Structure 1
């Protein structure tokens, strides 16, 4: 892509919804395809016209060698171009930051250093940071394979992975993303079963905060690596949450709202205190019993639902290009009130609570409900067939999870 005589190409790693949403943003804004490296091609990347895809089956086994070959291929294909690389998954962020010495000066990598990224991605370390900057979080215990079940853990409890990348590896063994337990006896039994199934990484045990889907929110921030200014803090209230065993916690339908002052100020304090740069994706939950937002985790990358930002007026590709290449502010971005969704209207009408149904229907009537998959620039018969398969699978998984 050539804008004002500066040629650039977007690059991502990982064939997931986050990568697809990023590629769509670049295509919408600049009409350019995104270079993609992945180990296997799956939906929603499969049969998409938005990518130039390189498949390397050794990506997860020899990531340094795979990256080395890929970087050389991209540099040969795009001599004189600046490259903007935005990995889409936790493992691919780790691959890039662990091998940052392979990238030349013409590569823009809008992330903090590996040490800080590892710190914020670790839930216990993240909660320690929250403590220092005054952010609330649920009561939490962490323990290893040989540690005793904490004696003071009582009541309804949740078992989670300490780091998201551990879940990505564990899912192949049938380990769930989240275990919700009605009491400590059930939680201890679930923990024992997890260990017997061979998962020995450290885990998080956390008090369960009673909530509806609409008490959950996703907040995305962007702090510039160039001038260290916080350019964006965007708030989305979850209307429908995935509650299936393997995908629990994924946001299916999101309503954009004005960010609460205490949330925006708290996130800004955290980013500045840790000198964190790039995109950050926070999951938060409202504790009705205490009247306060609690922070659950920080994903040090764009979230899978990042098309919410583009749809509401904050095109993520434009944010990156304006900042990294031209050092522009965000004065020409116009925010809209929208709903983002990856499920069909039938499921939305079934699961959105009565308090928000009128809002959803009004935005639908005014054409302000957006799906990352619904894009005329990437339409084909094969894509339509893939979409039918996706919605059929999604419906079964979501109904089962309820």
Structure 2
């Protein structure tokens, strides 16, 4: 893979392809970021299909919201997508989704959607393999990519008499999480979290009971806890074109993650930085698996030996995708050049340094305790190299500005509640 400066591949075209119309499933901040990236690149509005026009996508001048009665019903979503296609004959419709279960909906209904839409996602077979954290760990191990030690707990037969969980000999505290977020999406029980930090065998046993009683039939993974706080985390975003060429890669150093039960592990602030050794391992994975489309890797630097421990790959661009656009490599351009215009572009590693943050700067600095990192963050703030995906001058109505202000204040409340003080021993 050849490397260019961001400018060499970040802006392969300046005019919007005739009839281009992005259609995006979802309603979160990452969906808005995609719509913003399309608007910045081509000046086009996006149609967003969801069950509700939540804050990030509400009252937007760059989005046309198309609401369904039940945003969790795959059939309703697919039917609405087909209706959108009928309403816009002759348009070049590009379909994106930015949560695992919505990607699965699109891939499972590809045959219905592809006559009308560009569907830039991997095959159903590969989606099943790489979206499962247990299988992902197996693939990485085979390729020589480092992962945390992993034990798999299968609940497929948990309802049968005599079923018992497999023994776990990973040292405590440890991490437990669903192998497939799609399998976990609709399971409800008291204390449900995206990621569990388990301190004792009794806590783990209680989790197994809760999952069994809730009717969970998927797999859960138990992994060793890689030490170090949020600042040990890294993010990679990549695009693999229809020819199998990795045309865009960008990495970021996480400064702080969210700590609410439902958002645990989502980066809230990052600095874009180039980590060639880590990118090389991601490249190995993408090439070996025959991946296509956007990918987003979660990685942690193990402070014990400096190795990059790969946690998972999301089969989509990721919630915080705007850090790539802000760093000079608008990712939707690579998609459009490939899937709409049929052009090959020179591969690019996007590495312009910016601070991506959805937090008030004062709050962020409270948690960045490493002197060098803090100095770097303060320098970027002083240089005004800070981006918030929802702060867009071309979409700055009073309602939008009020929402962003309220969202920033709500972050203060959430961190005071769930993570009041910085720590060097968290995950």
Q: Which residue of 2 aligns with 1:142?
A: 152
Superposition map of 1:307-326 within 5 A:
307-326=322-341
CA distance in 2, matches of 1:40, 1:174: 25
Classify 1:265/1:334 alpha carbon distance in 2 versus 1 (closer, same or farther; 3 Å): closer
Q: Helix, strand or coil: the match of 1:44?
A: helix
Which of 42, 65, 71 is residue 53 of structure 1 equivalent to? 65
Structure 1 contact 64–99 (Cα < 8 Å) conserved: no
Classify 1:110/1:173 alpha carbon distance in 2 versus 1 (closer, same or farther; 3 Å): farther
Classify 1:336/1:172 alpha carbon distance in 2 versus 1 (closer, same or farther; 3 Å): farther
2:390 is the counterpart of 1:351: no
Which deviates more, 161-170 or 288-297? Answer: 161-170
Structure 2 contact 258–268 (Cα < 8 Å) conserved: yes
Which deviates more, 152-161 or 270-279? Answer: 152-161
CA distance in 2, matches of 1:133, 1:324: 29
Q: Which residue of 2 aligns with 1:212?
A: 229
Q: Which residue of 2 aligns with 1:164?
A: 181
Which of 243, 265, 268 is residue 252 of structure 1 equivalent to? 268
Q: Which residue of 2 aligns with 1:92?
A: 102
CA distance in 1, matches of 2:308, 2:17: 46
2:56 is the counterpart of 1:39: no
Structure 1 contact 135–295 (Cα < 8 Å) conserved: yes
Q: Helix, strand or coil: the match of 2:64?
A: strand
- Measured after TM superposition, the shift of residue 50 of structure 1 is 1.7
Q: Which residue of 2 aligns with 1:188?
A: 205
Q: Which residue of 1 aligns with 2:75?
A: 64
Classify 1:66/1:358 alpha carbon distance in 2 versus 1 (closer, same or farther; 3 Å): closer
- Measured after TM superposition, the shift of residue 76 of structure 1 is 2.7
- Greater length-normalized contact order (CA 8 Å, ≥ 6 residues apart): 2
Q: Which residue of 2 aligns with 1:132?
A: 142
Q: Helix, strand or coil: the match of 1:186?
A: helix
Classify 1:29/1:172 alpha carbon distance in 2 versus 1 (closer, same or farther; 3 Å): farther
Q: Helix, strand or coil: the match of 2:176?
A: strand
- Measured after TM superposition, the shift of residue 193 of structure 1 is 4.0
CA offsets, 1:65-98, max 9 Å, x none? Answer: 5413432333332x22211111121121111111
Structure 1 contact 158–187 (Cα < 8 Å) conserved: no
Structure 1 contact 153–184 (Cα < 8 Å) conserved: no
Which deviates more, 263-272 or 358-367? Answer: 263-272
CA distance in 2, matches of 1:27, 1:215: 33
Q: Helix, strand or coil: the match of 2:55?
A: coil
- Measured after TM superposition, the shift of residue 122 of structure 1 is 0.4
- Measured after TM superposition, the shift of residue 384 of structure 1 is 2.1
2:371 is the counterpart of 1:371: no
Which of 304, 318, 332 is residue 289 of structure 1 equivalent to? 304
- Structure 1: 5+ residue stretches without partners: none
Give the TM-score, by structure 1 length.
Answer: 0.92
Structure 2 contact 35–62 (Cα < 8 Å) conserved: yes
Q: Which residue of 2 aligns with 1:22?
A: 34
CA distance in 2, matches of 1:4, 1:154: 54
Q: Which residue of 1 aligns with 2:316?
A: 301
Number of residue equivalences: 398
Runs of 4+ in 1 over 6 A off after TM superposition: 331-334
Classify 1:389/1:173 alpha carbon distance in 2 versus 1 (closer, same or farther; 3 Å): farther
Give the TM-score, by structure 2 length.
Answer: 0.87
Q: Helix, strand or coil: the match of 1:236?
A: strand
- Measured after TM superposition, the shift of residue 332 of structure 1 is 8.9
Q: Helix, strand or coil: the match of 1:86?
A: strand
CA distance in 2, matches of 1:106, 1:197: 39
CA distance in 2, matches of 1:5, 1:299: 28
Classify 1:194/1:48 alpha carbon distance in 2 versus 1 (closer, same or farther; 3 Å): same
CA distance in 2, matches of 1:182, 1:173: 18
- Structure 2: 5+ residue stretches without partners: 1-13, 420-427
Q: Which residue of 2 aligns with 1:74?
A: 85
Q: Which residue of 2 aligns with 1:380?
A: 397
CA distance in 2, matches of 1:308, 1:167: 28
CA distance in 2, matches of 1:399, 1:66: 37
Structure 1 contact 253–339 (Cα < 8 Å) conserved: yes
